[in-house]
């Protein structure tokens, strides 16, 4: 019993001394100026009992190790002092100036923050983005093997995997987790080749719900939902999607202090990848397929309407076809109604009122046809037939609209010439181009060639030859003077050279050669700037480019976007870029070149 009392007395004495000392919570780094690819250590130190430690955002740097924690306690002249530290080994990826924000912690029941640190990153060796393992470092510096794949994983879920061609499928990208997620970022989404797709419009950010999966309870969130329409029959594979996480996991205690205070937590960088999904697509049956079937799959209704049944010739008539239902409504083709031969038809105006939800695509598509009858008479607009395939019943359905009788009266501007009506006669119609009235009176005819010699036109043609020679001589001299200005010629040709490189970049993008794409964009911008600014390609760098553009009165916004794009292209040749798509980079490069052309 006495031993227990001694231990309790010692602990009380230690705690009293710790609380009595002035609490300091500071952040420091081993160096404030580093090169890309160079390592440095970030250390947070507190001389007290820290709880609920929250590090700052370190996404501007690549995490190599951490958080690494250490505790120490000393007795000097009967006084106890203790300190704890959390450290990270980091390396910068991109040059620039960055600020490491403050960390927060609850110390002795009071929330405290550290100081901020300003880091300057200069150019060094390129850094390849790396993914860390699924564990932290133990007390001896060895990698742990915590199997996060059972605690945090991704799934690509589909509501059905056996469908007909054109039948909608709901694809959900989902996160399953049993650990705390501090940060997450989608690193790769599949191309969905073989499908026409529509994103489901979400009402807000993804929210977690609890689900049972293989006997375990998980927090589940839908990262993204997409409606897919297979465009051909066969087995189509949906490639995996990938995400990067920073997760907080509980690991085994590493020392007596961890055991005493309840264990140890680690923040882990964890890349996750879903499994591929195969969809079995059946071709649409040939049996019972109606003539003129245009590929509609789902369940629809159709109706036709007109705005008037009586009108005058050359007045407009609006004929409207409305298709309502659920399915591949956005892929429907023009119903192509047949109008009387006397009616002039214009291309339809198409209007969609469609919703994309987790249940599929549904809504209404309206075709408005403007038709103009050119002559009086009674006409009939034939009914329209619309066929679709219902995948639920496996049958084709054909719908028919009603027909309309139109009475056309004679219009004010109508020119009609009608012969006698009879079984062997036919009407003759004039549309102001087929039949002309005979012209009477003096026709003003004369013999060809008369009044030409000695006329103004005759002398004008005589003078035209010498005038053209003088103009050609002036233009040639101007071209010689212009081409003598080498800098000016290079500046004028800069846009054409950049266009060639960007065309090559577009081909690489279409071929999905991402690294070659970024290299072509980089060369295109550098070649354009070399010619436009009359600076040798080998002498170009960020400072010279910015200085030269400012000297030519380019906008700071344009200069900033240009330098950012150059840095992005340079980094993309060594590491994948996820914050912006390749297509957006391509459009941004074209926009920058156009802006420079306009400004200087």
What are the two backbone dihedrals, phi and then psi, of residue 438, each rounded to the nearest 5 degrees? Answer: -70, 135
181 forms beta bridges with 247
Candidates 332, 294, 279; CA nearest to 169 is 279
Rounded Cα distance, 265 and 326, in Å: 50
Candidates 350, 364, 383; CA nearest to 322 is 364
pLDDT attached to residue 392: 92
Across the range 422-446, mean pLDDT stands at 50
Q: Indicate whether 541 pLDDT > 70.
A: yes
Structure tokens that stand for 30 in this block: 């081993």
pTM, to two decimals: 0.47
Across the range 451-466, mean pLDDT stands at 77
DSSP assignment of 460-507 equals: HHHHHHHHHHHHHHHHHHHHHHHHH-HHHHHHHHHHHHHHHHHHHHHH
Mean pLDDT highest for which of 103-117, 167-181, 245-259? 167-181
pLDDT attached to residue 378: 93
Mean pLDDT highest for which of 47-61, 109-123, 435-449? 109-123
Q: Indicate whether 88 pLDDT > 60.
A: yes
Q: Indicate whether 132 pLDDT > 60.
A: no
- Look at 143-157, 304-318, 445-459 and tell me which has the smallest mean pLDDT: 445-459
**Percent of the chain as helix, strand, coil, to the nearest 5:** 25, 40, 35
Q: Looking up tokens 């999966």, which residue turns up?
A: 213
Mean pLDDT score of the chain: 79
Q: Indicate whether 368 pLDDT > 90.
A: yes
The predicted-structure confidence for 548-579, as pLDDT tens digits, reads as follows 888 888 888 888 888 888 888 877 766 676 66
Q: Maximum distance among all alpha carbons in the chain?
A: 142
Cβ 314 vs Cβ 372: under 8 Å: yes
Burial of 154 per CB tally in 10 Å (0-12, 13-18, 19+): buried
Q: pLDDT tier at 260 (50, 70, 90 boundaries)?
A: very low
pLDDT attached to residue 1: 45
Cβ 34 vs Cβ 40: under 8 Å: yes
Domains by residue range for the chain, with CATH: 2-122 (2.60.40.10), 148-282 (2.60.40), 298-409 (2.60.40.740), 486-599 (1.20.120)
């Amino acid at each position: 019993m006495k031993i227990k009392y001694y231990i309790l007395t010692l602990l009380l004495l230690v705690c009293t001394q710790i609380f009595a000392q002035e609490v300091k919570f500071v952040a420091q780094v081993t160096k404030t100026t580093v090169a890309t690819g160079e390592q440095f250590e970030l250390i947070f130190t507190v001389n007290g009992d820290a709880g609920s430690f929250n590090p700052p955002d370190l996404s501007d740097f690549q995490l190599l190790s951490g958080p690494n924690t250490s505790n120490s306690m000393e007795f000097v002249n009967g006084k106890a002092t203790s300190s704890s530290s959390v450290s990270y080994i980091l390396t910068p990826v991109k040059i620039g100036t960055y600020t490491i924000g403050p960390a927060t912690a609850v110390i002795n029941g009071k929330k405290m923050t550290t100081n901020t640190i300003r880091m300057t990153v200069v150019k060094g060796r390129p850094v390849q983005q790396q993914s860390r393992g699924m564990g932290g470092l133990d007390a001896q510096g060895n990698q742990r093997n915590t199997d996060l794949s059972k605690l945090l994983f991704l799934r690509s879920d589909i509501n059905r995997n056996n469908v007909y061609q054109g039948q909608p499928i709901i694809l959900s990208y989902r996160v399953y987790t049993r650990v705390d997620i501090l940060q997450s970022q989608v690193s790769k989404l599949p191309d969905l080749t073989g499908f026409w797709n529509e994103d489901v419009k979400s009402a807000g950010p993804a929210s977690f719900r609890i689900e049972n999966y293989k006997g375990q309870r998980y927090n589940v969130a839908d990262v993204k939902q997409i409606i897919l329409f297979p465009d051909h029959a066969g087995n189509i594979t949906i490639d995996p999607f990938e995400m990067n996480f920073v997760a907080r996991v509980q690991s085994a205690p590493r020392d007596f202090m961890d055991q005493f205070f309840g264990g140890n937590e680690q923040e882990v960088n964890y890349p996750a990848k879903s499994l591929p999904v195969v969809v079995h697509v059946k071709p649409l049956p040939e049996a019972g397929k109606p003539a003129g079937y245009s590929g509609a799959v789902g369940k629809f209704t159709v109706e036709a309407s007109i705005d008037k049944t009586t009108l005058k010739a050359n007045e407009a008539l609006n004929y409207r076809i409305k298709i309502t239902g659920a399915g591949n409504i956005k892929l429907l083709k023009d119903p192509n109604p047949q109008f009387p031969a006397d009616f002039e038809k214009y291309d339809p105006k198409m209007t969609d009122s469609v919703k994309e939800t987790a249940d599929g695509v549904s809504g209404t598509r309206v075709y408005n046809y403007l038709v103009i009858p050119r002559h009086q008479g009674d006409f009939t607009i034939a009914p329209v037939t619309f066929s679709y395939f219902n995948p639920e019943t496996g049958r084709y359905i054909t719908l028919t609209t009603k027909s309309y009788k139109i009475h056309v009266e004679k219009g004010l501007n109508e020119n009609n010439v009608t012969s006698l009506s009879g079984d062997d006669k036919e009407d003759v119609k004039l549309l102001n181009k087929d039949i002309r009235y005979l012209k009477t009176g003096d026709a003003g005819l004369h013999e060809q060639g008369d009044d030409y010699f000695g006329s103004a036109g005759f002398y004008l043609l005589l003078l035209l030859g010498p005038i053209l020679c003088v103009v050609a001589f002036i233009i040639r001299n101007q071209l010689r003077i212009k081409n003598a200005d080498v800098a000016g010629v290079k500046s004028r040709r800069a846009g054409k050279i950049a266009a060639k490189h960007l065309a090559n970049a577009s081909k690489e993008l279409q071929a999905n050669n991402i690294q070659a794409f970024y290299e072509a964009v980089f060369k295109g911008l550098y070649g354009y700037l070399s010619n436009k600014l009359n600076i040798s390609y080998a002498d170009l760098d960020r400072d010279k480019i910015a200085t030269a553009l400012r000297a030519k009165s380019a906008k700071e916004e344009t200069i900033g976007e240009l330098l950012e794009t150059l840095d992005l292209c340079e980094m993309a040749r060594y590491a994948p870029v996820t914050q912006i798509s390749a297509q957006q980079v391509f459009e941004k490069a074209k926009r920058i070149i156009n802006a420079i052309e306009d400004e200087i």
